[in-house]
Amino acid sequence: MADSKPLFSLDGDPMAAEALLRDVFGIVVDEVIRKGTSASEKVCEWKEPEELKQLLDLELRSQGEASEQILARCREVIRYSVKTCHPHFFNQLFSGLDPHALAGRIVTESLNTSQYTYEIAPVFVLMEEEVLKKLRALVGWSSGDGVFCPGGSISNMYAVNLARYQRYPDCKQRGLRALPPLALFTSKECHYSIKKGAAFLGLGTNSVRVVKTDERGKMVPEDLERQISLAEAEGAVPFLVSATSGTTVLGAFDPLNAIADVCQRLGLWLHVDAAWGGSVLLSQTHRHLLDGIQRADSVAWNPHKLLTAGLQCSALLLRDTSNLLRRCHGSQASYLFQQDKFYDVALDTGDKVVQCGRRVDCLKLWLMWKAQGGQGLERRVDQAFALAWYLVEELKKREGFELVMEPEFVNVCFWFVPPSLRGKQESPDYSERLAKVAPVLKERMVKEGSMMISYQPHGTRGNFFRMVVANPALTRADMDFLLNELERLGRDL
Amino acid sequence: MADSKPLFSLDGDPMAAEALLRDVFGIVVDEVIRKGTSASEKVCEWKEPEELKQLLDLELRSQGEASEQILARCREVIRYSVKTCHPHFFNQLFSGLDPHALAGRIVTESLNTSQYTYEIAPVFVLMEEEVLKKLRALVGWSSGDGVFCPGGSISNMYAVNLARYQRYPDCKQRGLRALPPLALFTSKECHYSIKKGAAFLGLGTNSVRVVKTDERGKMVPEDLERQISLAEAEGAVPFLVSATSGTTVLGAFDPLNAIADVCQRLGLWLHVDAAWGGSVLLSQTHRHLLDGIQRADSVAWNPHKLLTAGLQCSALLLRDTSNLLRRCHGSQASYLFQQDKFYDVALDTGDKVVQCGRRVDCLKLWLMWKAQGGQGLERRVDQAFALAWYLVEELKKREGFELVMEPEFVNVCFWFVPPSLRGKQESPDYSERLAKVAPVLKERMVKEGSMMISYQPHGTRGNFFRMVVANPALTRADMDFLLNELERLGRDL
């Protein structure tokens, strides 16, 4: 691509712009939507970083490139990117491709607006409110507030910021130095964003008191009470408990009712980080896992995970009806939120957030929901559970697989025990050797491009695989493939 | 749409998925890329909120809808959305449509990955680094660090958080209560995100000391020094100055060298909020407006504004080479940032940020840059300046337009003085009556759908229009249209 042609600008040439976009869309259809979702294609095409840099010719130069070169670049970007929509991409809490959600994302990108005022986002201001209302109804609230945030970590931060503001409105002007030392509580299985958020919000990670979990990874309410007493004895003021519905590794659901009892008795804000597990609320069969969530003050829920809405789609939901969001975050910028507009300025929702420009994250979820209906989405959730349980049953039938625990969600955590370690459970270096298996298999599968699944150490346990059943296109054959492929990749170990 | 057909699921039906997406893409091409950018079409189709709710049938139901209905919904969403790509959309600091950037956005959405690890985003981890390197080079740095954030407000927050962490690393664990009271400094023309950020980060809005500006809206360095002394006298510790390159309303550039002198002498972190003005660095002719920016510690720059990269594309750039980002924000989550991976885990950049999942924001800018070249982008910036100055000259020729001030950037601020107020400058209610003109004209233009331009009060000045020349497709004819249209809309006032 060194012989770059003279600059070819599309400015003011709508026909050329259209032609380019049609070509790019054709590439997307061929390479992502068709090949990327095909089990007979690779999940990824591994390259070492230095080699990949060369292949991509990343440097940005003075001279522009012609359309054919740009199209070639799109093909290369796709070629060397991981296909998260592939049926053997099990690596994260998101996977798969919902065509309606993608359609919503393409429309969103083409309209390119910001969610701050009714003036420039009339459809999306109303739509966001409707989608949030629906999500709140599933939580069990007939009123409330909320907003879409750029990811669950920021949704969780919002909850913490709102809780401290509600208790100490002074904090907005005077800052944390005007407040007593604060303490918030979450389990040792919580997502790392709680500590990151505490640092970012100026509370410091020490303000996060870690509550014990039981053998399933669920918060122990008795220990919560103990930690609260301890914090108080140390002079801190407890103000928030962050429970988790669907922990990152084990997929555990904290006992919300027992935790809500504690919060209610002590007047603490109850936040539920349901970024991962929130979508279970759609299932009549499984929503009991979140019993008590309606007693929360705030809920973070990421439909970009189990519902396949696409990155990012993270809702912060609030039970509050006192305009807390706007009071806490508002600054009444006169250049954007003019009060002499010709419509109801309560529709200018941008002052509810700490961002200024904010992406439209509601359309992809709304369009997918319209297409699938609540029933269709419920069926997906139920199917994910069913497949996870199928996997567990199949895994138990095979030699060489060991469950970390019986799952209650779609995270299936297990060790693959290679032939050389089978029956050696009693040897002193068994755990150490077993922990080295997953990284080796991971390297092999990625370099072959056959599948991707995550592993991690966890507490005193050595590396184990965390299988996530999230892609709505998965079938039993994909579960069988996972087990067969691990056996194949690990047969010489 | 009440007679919804039985649920039509596309799960596992790639042909149907493809067909749907092709149809949606066709609608996007027709309705947004062709009609949305055409001067002969409307910018917006105003509906009152209640009517729009009815038209859109927003409710989410149990039953799914057939593809034809979904396509009709896409058409309606587009129909009632504001066309920010239209040549008469002058309302925000972003506008227009770059086809390459949109192509990058469509590829990004289809690949749907998260920017946290090389494992699942190999192309984008390397690409982000290359794009940031290019932006840093334009700032004047041959090394450094950086990250794309979800918008300029969060980029600004990052800068404040990094500055306090660098001075007081304890803050991460122990929080702000362990620190002396802090003070940061910014001008009265700064973006509102500085105060919002101070509240969110626990510093409180009172920690933001407001520095005077001159008649052009530029920070007065002598007053900065005075405010710093005042804060110290009150027992606060100054730690950061946030200068602005391109203020939101007036488009003013703070004198960076003079401010950097103060920061250097007193050991303060210099942040430059160049969210709006940063793109001027591409222009050899105009980049002198940011002279001194290379002396900053951090810079926020939003290519989604003047460069038309698409929402959101906001870079936080750092001069730091000590891994400050990762030390400040990292939490070493073992389930995601495993240390026993088979590649260099320094490529897992996700621990630099306070988000977990993070959207890919680099491809749209990279692809556009590859296509346009630095030269093409420079030409756009220069053209925007030239058109703004053309507008100023034309405006001066006409009766009924009054400049707020001579612009130095592409914000052109002016009053439209309707016939009934011309020559009445001396009457006591002139300012009051003039301030009521812009809201009336705004209502008229939006209800006709002929154009959109923002207005605001500002200090002691009543409402005036802020014209923003950002869309690269604009021509002199569009400038003439703006003036003609205001005359037409206001001729009876």
Nearby residues of A363 by Cβ (< 8 Å), 6 or more positions away: A104, A105, A107, A108, A124, A127, B77
Contacts of residues A281-289 at CB distance under 8 Å and 24 or more positions apart, as own/partner, are A281/A138, A281/A139, A282/A138, A282/A307, A282/A374, A282/A377, A282/A378, A282/A381, A283/A378, A283/A381, A283/A382, A283/A385, A284/A378, A285/A382, A285/A385, A286/A381, A286/A382, A286/A385, A289/A245, A289/A253, A289/A408, A289/A409
Structure tokens belonging to residue B139: 């700032």
Contact list, B192 vs chain A (CB under 8 Å): 331, 333, 356
- Exposure b/e, B16-47, CB count within 10 A at least 16 = b: ebbebbebbbebbbebbbebbbeeeebbbbbb
Q: Is-contact A479 A117, C-beta < 8 A? A: no
Amino acid at A273: D
Partner-chain residue, chosen from A20, A81, A124, that has the shortest CB–CB distance to B113: A81
For the stretch B353-404, pLDDT in tens is 999 999 999 999 999 999 999 999 999 999 999 999 999 999 999 999 999 9
CB contact under 8 A, B359 and A150: yes
* Closest residue in A to B59 (Cα–Cα): A130
Confidence of residue B11 (pLDDT cuts 50, 70, 90): low
Mean pLDDT of chain A: 96
Question: B235: how many CB neighbours lie within 10 A of its CB?
Answer: 9
Which DSSP letter does residue B34 get?
I
Whether A122 sits inside 8 A of B70 (CB atoms) is: no
Cα distance from B153 to chain A (closest Cα, Å)?
5
All residues of chain A having their beta carbon less than 8 Å from the beta carbon of residue B339 are none
| Percent of all residues in chain A with a pLDDT value above 70, rounded to a whole number | 98
Residue A336: predicted pLDDT: 86
Q: Residue B184's closest CA among B171, B173, B202, B216?
A: B202
pLDDT at B417: 98
Beta partners for A146?
A317
Tokens of B32: 């947004």
pLDDT tens for residues A392-413?
999 999 999 999 999 999 999 9
Q: Is the confidence at residue A2, as pLDDT, over 70?
A: no
CA distance B103 to chain A (A): 6
Closest CA to A369 of A151, A133, A32, A22: A133
State how far residue A403 is from chain B, nearest Cα, in angstroms. Answer: 17
- Which chain A residues in 199-238 lie under 8 Å from chain B, judged by CB atoms? 199-207
- Mapped onto helix, strand or coil, the DSSP state of residue A22 is helix
Query: Are B148 and B315 contacting, i.e. CB atoms less than 8 angstroms apart?
Result: yes
CA dist A362 → A312, A358, A367, B281 (Å): 10, 11, 9, 35
Question: Quick one: closest CA in B to A83, which residue?
Answer: B111
- Using CA of residue B80, residue B81, residue B87, residue B90, what is the dihedral sign? positive
Q: How close does chain A come to B484, measured CA to CA in Å?
A: 22
Q: Which residue has the tokens 């407890």?
A: A238
CA distance B13 to A104: 18
Residue holding tokens 């970590």?
A: A153
What pLDDT, in 10s, does the model give residues B141-190?
999 999 999 999 999 999 999 999 999 999 999 999 999 999 999 999 99
| Contacts with B465 (C-beta within 8 Å, 6 or more apart), sequence order | B413, B414, B415, B416, B438, B453, B454, B455, B486
- 3-state secondary structure at position A89: strand
Query: Looking at the predicted structure, is the pLDDT value of residue B1 above 50?
Result: no
Helix axes A67-79, B99-111, angle to 10 degrees: 20
Asked if residue A317 lies in contact with residue A141, where contact means CB atoms within 8 angstroms, the answer is yes
User: Do residue B52 and residue A123 have CB atoms under 8 angstroms apart?
Assistant: yes
Give me the amino acid identity at B209: R
Q: Determine the Cα–Cα distance for residues B223 and B227; give it in Å rounded to an integer.
A: 6
pLDDT of residue B8: 41
Q: Hey, which residues 98-117 in chain A have their CB within 8 Å of chain B?
A: 98-100, 102-103, 105-107, 109-114
Structure tokens at B179: 């620190």
Q: Which domains does chain A have, with CATH numbers?
A: 15-81 (no CATH), 114-359 (3.40.640.10), 371-490 (3.90.1150.170)
- Give contacts of A 3-62 with B, CB under 8 A: 7-12, 14, 16-18, 20-22, 24-25, 27-29, 32-34, 36-38, 44, 46-49, 52-53, 56, 58-62
Question: Residues of A with CB below 8 A from B312's CB?
Answer: 357, 359
Which amino acid is residue B405, in one-letter code? M
Q: Work out the minimum CA distance from B394 to partner chain A, whole angstroms.
A: 23
Check B70 against A103: CB less than 8 A apart. yes
Amino acid at B485: E
C-alpha–C-alpha distance, residues B466 and A235, integer Å: 52
For chain B positions 270-329, those within 8 Å of chain A (CB to CB) are: 304, 310-312, 328-329
Q: Calculate the alpha carbon distances from A99 to A148, B3, B19, B25 in Å.
A: 21, 23, 10, 12
- Chain A partners within 8 Å of B18 (Cβ): 29, 33-34, 99
- CB B103 to CB A70 under 8 A? yes
Q: CB–CB of B215/B209 below 8 Å?
A: no
Question: Is a pLDDT exceeding 80 seen at residue A7?
Answer: no
Structure tokens at A28: 């997307």
Using 50, 70 and 90 to split pLDDT, how confident is the model at B12?
low
Residues 375-394 of A with CB under 8 A from B: 375-376, 379-380
For residue B330 the two structure tokens come to 């990292």
Give the closest-approach CA distance of A276 to chain B in angstroms: 12
Q: CA of B63: which chain A residue's CA is closest? A: A373
Q: Which pLDDT tens digit goes with each residue over B35-83? A: 999 999 999 999 999 999 999 999 999 999 999 999 999 999 999 999 9
A204 φ/ψ angles, rounded to the nearest 5 degrees: 85, 145
Q: Decide if B112 and A24 are in contact by the 8 Å CB cutoff.
A: no
Q: Which residue of B has its CA nearest to A305?
A: B357
pTM of the entire structure?
0.97
Dump pLDDT digits (tens) for A257-315. Answer: 999 999 999 999 999 999 999 999 999 999 999 999 999 999 999 999 999 999 999 99
Question: Which residue in chain A has the smallest CA separation from B50?
Answer: A126
Q: Which of B97, B370, B432 to mutate to test the interface with A (most CBs of A within 10 A)?
A: B370
Cβ-Cβ contacts under 8 Å for A110 (sequence gap 6 or more): B28, B32, B33, B36, B78, B85, B97, B102
CB–CB of B202 and A175 under 8 A? Answer: yes
Q: Which one of B86, B110, B154, B172 makes the best mutation probe of the A interface by having the most chain A beta carbons within 10 Å?
A: B110
**Two structure tokens written together for B58:** 């927003």
Q: Residue window 161-200, chain A: list those with CB within 8 Å of chain B.
A: 161, 171-179, 181, 191-193, 195-200
| pLDDT at B7 exceeding the cut of 50 | no
- The residue-averaged pLDDT of A421-434 equals 96
CB contact under 8 A, B18 and A33: yes
Question: Using one digit for the tens of pLDDT, what is the confidence trace for B403-451?
Answer: 999 999 999 999 999 999 999 999 999 999 999 999 999 999 999 999 9
Structure tokens at A15: 């026909």
ipTM (interface pTM) = 0.97
Q: Express each pLDDT in A28-59 by its tens digit.
A: 999 999 999 999 999 999 999 999 999 999 99
Q: How far apart (Å, rounded) are the C-alpha atoms in residues A349 and A128? A: 10
Predicted confidence band at A483 (pLDDT cuts at 50, 70, 90)? very high
